[in-house]
Structure 1
């Protein structure tokens, strides 16, 4: 019997509603229910909005899977056991991921489930009697989540189906083909510009962690940087800086302290709550060295994924305060990713959020755009780059050390690696800078060779099988 799973719309329409719980952004999706006739009140819309946030929180996206796509794939980390679960995780590390890898399928489905949830809210919100300020805010949040999700999809798979309206009939899904990435990026830019015009600078305390205009502009700056539109990137990132809403914390370690969630440096982070069943984060159990108990206190299984490479560990400058905050070492000598790790109260139930966008990233993107537009020996590019370095306990760069655009460019790219390690930026930074093949081949010690076609992943085979006349596979997969 043929499985109707393309883009997972059957499941999505059944899972879009959310049950109530204490934290607006920590609500769980109802597994059964009909969308038809549901969206009648402001409370209904709020549950739908919470469902869209929940899609980002899921293990299919930021809760687990993205780590393999965005960090384990890079020279930053690896998975300790390449044979776990039949090698589905190790294959990301060794560049041998095939179209039948179940992680590809789950992540694809998870992303499109989230997009469907956004589309449902956007398609119904204007028909509901509700507070107008909240209506604008919720619209902006849904546009941001849809844009963020497509930004991840297009960087992972290249051309992907672009769906910006609710799919009400599962069979509609079979009409969709892969949209050229240029068009997907156009929609991402449109969504983020629209979102920026709708969102507030700040949200009330009851909705801590909700998306703001700063998040929309920060993400838009990252999109423009990816597209190498450096002037637009510079302009929109300057808006974030000039807003004065955000700042660097004095202590790098405070950025990741669970007592400091959603700090003045945080622009957007995925919310987790150890006190709500199934709403805690998995990072401690995923990152702790395989079979160890020191990091988790013996609670749950330690998997040894996202393990920092010795190459990364050895390349921090002497005195860099970020090294011991980012990377831990247990008593048997094994390294582990220390960021986002708080001992769980139950297996896979910890209190650590995951930071998607923060002010340090904005500053580094801004100085990169400034340099690409016009290298200057004195100016904001040096000023902001050195703010990052000085917080890390390192000496400031001078124009004598970085006397031209090329050397400054290399310094910024290098700084991003250490400042943002394990925050799901490294693989995409390698792609964006055109360094992925060169750097990865230098990091493999000749064990395998990375080729350019592997810079994007294979389309899940389930999607090809469901509509072989519509869904074409990426080259050489």
Structure 2
């Protein structure tokens, strides 16, 4: 019998600005009544627009519990966050409890969004106006509610499925559903959303949900459901569903791998992007919220806030596609940045790499340096250099997601987006599902499409199979999708976090010798610990006390 719980009722969010000026002239924004909102399609649309806050964005909003985009990287072996934003240290130290989740917990704000989605979906059919416009909004909110449940299930496992809005007279009684029940519900909701939405939105509606977005989220959802964490018996039926879902996105023929400059994939609108969450610089209070400020090296007056680990750097292979651990790769740890996977040069700022435009860092030139990163001891980007409190502890920073076409030290960031879904991820989803279904050739085909686009010289051998191919699939996700929020969940769904997260987080100390050569010493930056219960987050104690909900195992 299911355990009974009580779900708190979250009151209706404030309605954001409508674009219908004659309505706005009638009454102040903070005085809209429930009746007026559901009598005007423009106000209903404003309500729907506000629900998109459940999606991640590219801003660095300190302690914003709904937006852990960057923090997810520092809560895994991918990166280090020296300022401990979002309380990731409790994740990394193995000290996680139901009482110290802090802002890493998303339970309450996500259910608040679900409540408001339920309100919208219960009202929209009766709002007067154009039927096609109503259907589009209904499809978008159905997608957003499904995304909210996807967020909850990947963090907590099975959660209560609430599909009707509570009011103050509700008894709030509900049951915790199983993970499989939640996954099935989310998949069916995404099918409903897909049926109501266009394959792609017009250029003026960039970043709004589409059929492609709904089917892409379904692909990721079903991949998780088929993975060892939720499929311990390796049910082939689940892998087939994951494969079919990924293929459905591919078969839309609406998206193509981006073949321009790889770094531009993450800063410009392009053919690969399926779903993004946009950030408008108009609403940024200063350049300090900009991606470039909190990712760039300290000698460029950035914060190096989320810095790549040596663990991640070592995941990038050589230019000919071999792992750096392969004795035939030619990799030399004393010449570590030579002949690497082309994505390494696009994603990572390392010692000796040019960064940014010279015109934007003339102060470096003024002291006899250049726009080449100096992470070696005594360099401008080192602990002894400029902005010492912001130096990268690992001696790397991320280039990925950074737009170097403007001066981020004096201008508020350009309009940015966070990638929710892109075609490369779908190819990786499909390759993984096909591998577990025994179709190695298809898996290798889609891996090679990604590697070929990246400029890796040699394709994977058609003879690759078994654990070797499985490791390539996992490594390809680690490299291709770094800093996109996937690694945290990948190592959990694969049930390998007890290995990857129990290793020290590594960096490098670089010494410049008198003859101009450099010596590289690989050092531990942080001790990491992971316990079996950490495959899921604990439900916060405050919620347990209020609802008598049974806690996740081990807490």
TM-score (norm 2): 0.72
2:337 corresponding residue in structure 1: none
Shift of 1:473: 2.5
> What is the rounded CA distance, in whole Å, between the counterparts of 1:110 and 1:325 in structure 2?
35
SS in 2 for 1:406: helix
SS in 2 for 1:307: strand
The 3 A distance-change label for structure 1 pair 63 and 464 is closer
> What is the rounded CA distance, in whole Å, between the counterparts of 1:31 and 1:154 in structure 2?
34
2:108 corresponding residue in structure 1: 109
SS in 2 for 1:18: coil
> What is the rounded CA distance, in whole Å, between the counterparts of 2:427 and 2:462 in structure 1?
18
SS in 2 for 1:323: helix
1:238 lines up with 2:301 in the alignment: no
What whole-Å deviation, never above 9, does each CA across 1:217-275 have from its counterpart, x for those lacking one? 11111111111112122222212112211001113212112xx13x2100011110112
1:396 corresponding residue in structure 2: 459
The 3 A distance-change label for structure 1 pair 55 and 369 is closer
> What is the rounded CA distance, in whole Å, between the counterparts of 2:105 and 2:294 in structure 1?
17
Q: 2:341 aligns with which of 317, 320, 323?
A: 320
Are the equivalent residues in 2 in contact too, given 1:64–1:282 (CA < 8 A)?
Answer: no
Whose Rg is larger?
A: 2
2:80 corresponding residue in structure 1: 78
1:276 lines up with 2:270 in the alignment: no
What whole-Å deviation, never above 9, does each CA across 1:48-107 have from its counterpart, x for those lacking one? 110111332575779742433x3222211122245x79xx33223323233233634762
**RMSD, matched Cα:** 3.0
Shift of 1:355: 0.3
Are the equivalent residues in 2 in contact too, given 1:77–1:307 (CA < 8 A)?
Answer: yes
> What is the rounded CA distance, in whole Å, between the counterparts of 2:173 and 2:409 in structure 1?
46
What whole-Å deviation, never above 9, does each CA across 1:322-370 have from its counterpart, x for those lacking one? 1132222453253223323346578986532110110000111111111
> What is the rounded CA distance, in whole Å, between the counterparts of 1:248 and 1:55 in structure 2?
27
1:353 lines up with 2:353 in the alignment: no
- The farther-off stretch of 331-340 and 117-126 is 331-340
1:129 lines up with 2:131 in the alignment: no
Q: 1:256 aligns with which of 255, 266, 270?
A: 266
SS in 2 for 1:225: helix
The 3 A distance-change label for structure 1 pair 321 and 49 is same
Shift of 1:180: 2.5
> What is the rounded CA distance, in whole Å, between the counterparts of 1:134 and 1:63 in structure 2?
28
> What is the rounded CA distance, in whole Å, between the counterparts of 2:209 and 2:301 in structure 1?
32
The 3 A distance-change label for structure 1 pair 424 and 348 is farther
What whole-Å deviation, never above 9, does each CA across 1:144-193 have from its counterpart, x for those lacking one? 11111211111111232322222222x74752453322222121111111
1:39 lines up with 2:101 in the alignment: no
Q: Say how many residue pairs are matched.
A: 441
2:513 corresponding residue in structure 1: none
TM-score (norm 1): 0.83
2:182 corresponding residue in structure 1: 184
- The farther-off stretch of 453-462 and 112-121 is 112-121
> What is the rounded CA distance, in whole Å, between the counterparts of 2:466 and 2:424 in structure 1?
21
Shift of 1:416: 0.5
The 3 A distance-change label for structure 1 pair 381 and 194 is same
The 3 A distance-change label for structure 1 pair 33 and 151 is same
1:474 corresponding residue in structure 2: 552
Of Structure 1 and Structure 2, the greater helix share is in: 1
Shift of 1:306: 3.0
- Mapping for residues 149-228 of structure 1, pairs under 5 Å: 149-169=148-168, 172=170, 174-228=172-226
Are the equivalent residues in 2 in contact too, given 1:71–1:422 (CA < 8 A)?
Answer: yes
> What is the rounded CA distance, in whole Å, between the counterparts of 2:281 and 2:439 in structure 1?
47
1:52 lines up with 2:51 in the alignment: yes
1:294 lines up with 2:300 in the alignment: yes
- The farther-off stretch of 320-329 and 243-252 is 320-329
- The farther-off stretch of 139-148 and 410-419 is 139-148
Q: 1:457 aligns with which of 537, 544, 547?
A: 537
The 3 A distance-change label for structure 1 pair 132 and 46 is same
2:25 corresponding residue in structure 1: none
Of Structure 1 and Structure 2, the greater strand share is in: 2
Shift of 1:413: 1.0
- Mapping for residues 404-423 of structure 1, pairs under 5 Å: 404-423=465-484
Unaligned runs of 5+ in 1: 1-5, 23-29, 297-301
Are the equivalent residues in 2 in contact too, given 1:105–1:460 (CA < 8 A)?
Answer: no
1:266 corresponding residue in structure 2: 273
The 3 A distance-change label for structure 1 pair 94 and 105 is closer
1:340 lines up with 2:401 in the alignment: yes
